[in-house]
Amino acid sequence: MTDFFHGIRVGETKSATRSIATIATAVIGLVVTAPKADASAFPLDIPVKVTNIDDAIEKAGDTGTLRACLQAIKGQVSAPIVVIRIAPGANAADTATAIIGKDENGVKTGMQALLTASAQIDLHPRIIGAPGLESEVVTKALVEVGKKLRARVYAAALGKDRGEAIAHRALFPNARELTLLWPGVTAPYGAAGASIAVPVAAVALGARAAIDQTQGFHKTISNVALNDIDGLTAGVSFDIQDPTSDASVLNASELVTVVRIAGALRFWGNRTCAAKDSDFVFESAARTAHILADTVALGMVLAIDQPLVPSLAKYIAEQISDKLRSMKRAGQLLGGAAEFRDAKNPTASLKVGQLVISYRYTPVPPLEGLGLEQEITDEFFADFAALVGSA
């Protein structure tokens, strides 16, 4: 028999307010060749999760691009990597076909297998490339995969000199997902520490992930010191005050280059391959759009299939606004807000379970150009005599 009670009991319980979490951004997707790799560790056309990069390097073999790419990434960051190993073809065209891959009845090969990584190994590649394997068709295919993954693509611009690199950039007139890099770089990864050429896009993949970890996805790849890199494969003149230097000319053509400042080599350039009048000319804007889209969408998964009542619409708008405010406080956005708009939600749409919540935001641009005014003046002679007298 329970104790008699006539009244109201109030109990306390702890509850945590659910908030939208920012998605993991520092996840690298790598498409490679490695004919002598351990086939059990790196099966062909299958996404492989790499978290122990030293072990992966040991199993990569000494041919193809896998080993060099892993070394270049290791020099910049420790981050999860999704590796897709492909079998090179009999010639360059066949190899490009294998890199691009295909989708036959849902079975994906080549870079298309990156699209299955989230389901197969619980990693969504956000920074992707095929370093050392670039061609016009391969890079264009990477851009298409990047669009589907909402991922950043890094690739080498092909060319022996500045003019050829700029001409290669023109092949991608409206590819906001793409950052093109020129020239190549070297690092002491050869025998007995000899300096050898390494795939510049692999260095960029690692640098991008490192910046995500230390500064955030809203910081561009530009002007951050690179580890290990000791030289360039082509000469690039640079003077931070000279708009006619090679680096400035390359940047003006939406190419990211490499320069040395205060003894350290670093990527230099903020631009994507978006159209010149696009809102996504800066890497930070393009990346913010991708990260924000997935963050908000995945944060609202639990709302799907819930009863569509006014309180649900209000809840969704408030949750998104809260996230945008928190991103503003973190310096990841200049601002943002979400709202329910009557005009976007007619009765005919609501009655069939379709709801639209509108949100707007302002990404953070990089300080790409700084003006400093230097003036020579006589004003500081004014108290010269008095100072002499008091000396």
Strand ordering across the sheet containing 81-86:
48-50, 81-86, 28-33, 127-129, 152-156, 178-181
Nearest to 283 by CA among 135, 177, 148: 177
d(CA 385, CA 391): 10
**Res 13: pLDDT:** 54
What is the DSSP track for 299-330?
HTGGGTTS---HHHHHHHHHHHHHHHHHHHHT
In which band, very low, low, confident or very high, does the pLDDT at 9 lie, cut at 50, 70 and 90?
low
In which band, very low, low, confident or very high, does the pLDDT at 38 lie, cut at 50, 70 and 90?
very high
Pinpoint the residues of the chain covered by CATH 3.40.50.11780.
28-284
Render pLDDT for 247-282 as a digit per residue (tens, 0 to 9). 999 999 999 999 999 999 999 999 999 999 999 999
Which residues fall within 8 angstroms of residue 150, CB to CB, at 6 or more apart?
Answer: 126, 290, 291, 293, 294
Of all residues in the chain, the percent with pLDDT exceeding 90 is 90
Are 256 and 248 in contact, with CB atoms under 8 Å apart?
A: no
pLDDT at 307 over 80: yes
The architecture CATH gives domain 28-284: 3-Layer(aba) Sandwich (3.40)
Helix (H, G, I), strand (E, B) or coil at 225: strand
pLDDT at 2 over 60: no
| Mean pLDDT, rounded, for 312-336 | 97
pLDDT at 62 over 80: yes
pLDDT at 33 over 60: yes
d(CA 320, CA 301): 12
pLDDT at 105 over 90: no
Render pLDDT for 166-218 as a digit per residue (tens, 0 to 9). 999 999 999 999 999 999 999 999 999 999 999 999 999 999 999 999 999 99
In which band, very low, low, confident or very high, does the pLDDT at 294 lie, cut at 50, 70 and 90?
very high
Helix (H, G, I), strand (E, B) or coil at 349: helix
pLDDT at 56 over 90: yes
d(CA 222, CA 196): 23
Rounded to 10 degrees, the C-alpha dihedral 120/126/127/132 comes to: 30
**Res 388: pLDDT:** 87
Angle made by CA atoms 32, 37, 41, in degrees to the nearest 5: 95
Of all residues in the chain, the percent with pLDDT exceeding 70 is 95
The more confidently predicted of residues 389 and 308 is 308
d(CA 4, CA 66): 74
